[in-house]
Amino acid sequence: MADLTPLDEKLAEVLGLAQAAQVATTTVAKMEDADAFAEALSQMGEEAAETERRTDALIDGLDGKKTAIRELARETKGEATEMMETYLEGEEEALDGFEFLSMAEAGELCHWEIVEKMSETIGAGDVLALAGWAVGVQREHVDRVRKASLRLAVEEVAG
């Protein structure tokens, strides 16, 4: 396997997390009481797919590292998907799904902020541009998930 820099490893992680996010949004959309959030979940899934495409395109330009980065991304996706399956095992209500998404989206945001800081520090302009875009997307995802979770919490106690 190629020697990966810390930034390469983080790129692999955000790629894997974007892939896992697509699975997570689809899973939560199928949960009880998620219908009201179908459009937001669909958009988040599409944005995760766009993040995957953009990150993968950037990785295409990293000669000698593509395979290793993509392999690490697959591992990250597998770990994230396994965490989701464990967390949501036996759960059917959308509130539980959005609680998981709150952790997942916040984690993705933090990973992208790390990529942003690393790329800024070493002067990797192409990565910095991608990270700047992705951080904005992830902040919006965190906000959407938070608002949906709070709305579902009110509905749950209001009956």
What pTM was computed for the model?
0.95
Instruction: Tell me the C-alpha distance between 2 and 31, whole Å.
Output: 41
Q: What is the pLDDT along the chain (159 residues), one digit of tens a residue?
A: 579 999 999 999 999 999 999 999 999 999 999 999 999 999 999 999 999 999 999 999 998 999 999 999 999 999 999 999 999 999 999 999 999 999 999 999 999 999 999 999 999 999 999 999 999 999 999 999 999 999 999 999 997
Name the residue type at position 108. Answer: E
Domain 6-158 has CATH 1.20.140.10: no
Q: Break the chain into its structural domains and give their ranges.
A: 6-158
Q: How many residues does the chain have?
A: 159
Instruction: Tell me the C-alpha distance between 115 and 155, whole Å.
Output: 37
75 alpha carbon, distance to own chain's centre: 14
- Token pair recorded at residue 48: 């995760």
